[in-house]
A and B are shown apart, each in its own frame.
Chain A
């Protein structure tokens, strides 16, 4: 049979974010796949070298548009390490609650994308609606729906307003009471099982060799979570499980996403009970005249897609000298996707791509 070249390009109904794959196809079977990133490249790390330490905060949250909060956390933690600033305890608890809410909203976005791709429009609409309820909470706390510039070196920008704790509890109860509906309609559905079981399978050895992190690794059986290995914020004060599955295909990855969402909701309730009183931020030096001596720092955290890291270098000036983000979608989109697509059918390309949780702005930065 002849080999044809297909472009699964940036303008496509099943593409989430601008990303393009060139497929070599024989009939219905894929023989070769090459990914084409670069549609969203802005040269972030070069732009960060031309703005002062405080001016970088509105810029940093736009690296991954779906989940901006972990990017802010990385920059704030790195600057605190370079300059030696301490964070008060109440601020650590507030940061953990805020990050877990961000994880819930990001997983609901991923559920919208996946259900939309498979054709389950009802579940996609529910997931987007519940995500909008969580974004209402963010809007009351920080002032913006999409980009909240809330985590600051030295704590958070402002404390919780009055009555906010009850609002969080009510919203999470609304979402949590719909979980049996989600299970009946989507997760226990036989159609979903047939479309996702055995697709895009990775063994644990292959995943370790190709640099997989996050759900892609936890769906193959390894319990690796940075919140347990190198705890940051208030994660060492609260108990939680790390859900895993055994098979390593698209079905197990989506089930790991669902289990993580439920685990996050339980974690938020426990953190709200244990939160101490105190101040919400420590003062930073005058931002117009802030110089940091020559130093370097490497910090890591567990974002909703996997292990996120930042390497930051300072050189006794008022601007960063070099910043380099290590994003989880870089290896997933460029190394693993090209191998996982071989010998699959053309109609499963979107299925595999979204279940590997690839977000295009993270690859290009």
Chain B
């Protein structure tokens, strides 16, 4: 064990606990269904990095959006994201959430996922290898250390802007807004 690191760990045990136990929500959208199972099974074991799949959003910490997002899936992604407790991190997989990818001229896919929910990091590739997932997880650790993985804070501050974008592409949403101005004012007072 590296003695230089003991000082760092003692300063922020909370951050160490957060980093090394990211529970990923099991939601294989799009093409990710072929590269997520090899990542979590025996050959490329993701559990040595602390990443295990969990069943419900209420127990999850990390949201991997693996592949393209269609209009119907976007509704369920927003609902699952809003059910996850804070602090939470999202990572976009593949080239399709970045700028549309191979389906850039399709009428049913979302081109830039960043306009609808906050994303902390991107992995390029079509599909990326399992080793790319592990590199992304180690990058996420450095971001958590420096305090820059704050997508969830941005979501809380700019919630009306995000919700405007979501409604302009999906129509009127059935569930009430997650954060409202009066409750935020009460929480800070």
The reply on B166 being an interface residue by CB < 8 A is: no
Residues of B within 8 A of A207 (CB): none
Give a binary string over B14-30; 1 marks a CB under 8 Å from any A CB, 0 the rest.
00000000000111111
- Asked if residues B106 and A40 are in contact (CB atoms below 8 Å), the reply is no
- Asked if residues B73 and A65 are in contact (CB atoms below 8 Å), the reply is no
The reply on A147 being an interface residue by CB < 8 A is: yes
The reply on B107 being an interface residue by CB < 8 A is: yes
- Asked if residues B41 and A124 are in contact (CB atoms below 8 Å), the reply is yes
Residues of B within 8 A of A62 (CB): 31, 102
Q: Which of A38, A50, A131, A146 contacts B127 (CB 8 A)?
A: A146
Give a binary string over A135-168; 1 marks a CB under 8 Å from any B CB, 0 the rest.
0000000000111000000000000000000000
Q: Which of B25, B30, B109, B126 contacts A147 (CB 8 A)?
A: B126
The reply on B169 being an interface residue by CB < 8 A is: no
- Residues of A contacting B: mostly: loop
- Asked if residues A43 and B102 are in contact (CB atoms below 8 Å), the reply is no
A18 and B28 contact, Cβ closer than 8 Å, known pairs A11-B76, A125-B41: yes
- Asked if residues B80 and A47 are in contact (CB atoms below 8 Å), the reply is no
A146 and B35 contact, Cβ closer than 8 Å, known pairs A10-B27, A40-B30, A125-B41: yes
The reply on A17 being an interface residue by CB < 8 A is: yes
The reply on A39 being an interface residue by CB < 8 A is: yes
Residues of A within 8 A of B42 (CB): 125-126, 128-129
Task: List which A9-26 residues lie within 8 A (CB) of chain B.
Answer: 9-13, 16-18
Q: Which of A11, A65, A147 contacts B33 (CB 8 A)?
A: A65
Residues of A within 8 A of B72 (CB): 38-39, 41
A43 and B73 contact, Cβ closer than 8 Å, known pairs A10-B27, A13-B55, A112-B37: no
CA distance A146 to B38 in the complex (A): 11
Q: How many of chain A's residues have a CB under 8 angstroms from any CB in B?
A: 35
A11 and B57 contact, Cβ closer than 8 Å, known pairs A42-B70, A65-B34, A129-B41: yes
- Asked if residues B33 and A41 are in contact (CB atoms below 8 Å), the reply is no
A41 and B34 contact, Cβ closer than 8 Å, known pairs A62-B102, A129-B43: no
- Asked if residues A41 and B70 are in contact (CB atoms below 8 Å), the reply is yes
Q: How many of chain B's residues have a CB under 8 angstroms from any CB in A?
A: 34
Residues of B within 8 A of A132 (CB): 38, 43
The reply on A198 being an interface residue by CB < 8 A is: no
- Asked if residues B43 and A18 are in contact (CB atoms below 8 Å), the reply is no
CA distance A126 to B53 in the complex (A): 18
Residues of A within 8 A of B179 (CB): none
Q: Nearest B residue to A10 by beta-carbon distance?
A: B76
The reply on A66 being an interface residue by CB < 8 A is: yes
The reply on A59 being an interface residue by CB < 8 A is: yes
- Asked if residues A18 and B73 are in contact (CB atoms below 8 Å), the reply is yes
Can you list 15 contacts pairing A with B, beta carbon distance less than 8 Å?
A11-B57, A17-B28, A17-B33, A18-B29, A38-B70, A40-B73, A46-B106, A109-B34, A126-B42, A128-B37, A128-B42, A131-B38, A132-B43, A146-B127, A147-B126
> Contact residues of A with B, CB < 8 Å?
9-13, 16-18, 38-43, 46-47, 50, 58-59, 62, 65-66, 109, 112, 124-126, 128-129, 131-132, 145-147, 361
> Contact residues of B with A, CB < 8 Å?
25-31, 33-35, 37-38, 41-43, 53, 55, 57, 68, 70, 72-73, 76, 80, 102-103, 105-109, 126-127, 129
Q: Shortest 6 CB-CB distances between A and B: which pairs? A: A128-B41, A13-B55, A125-B42, A11-B27, A132-B43, A65-B31
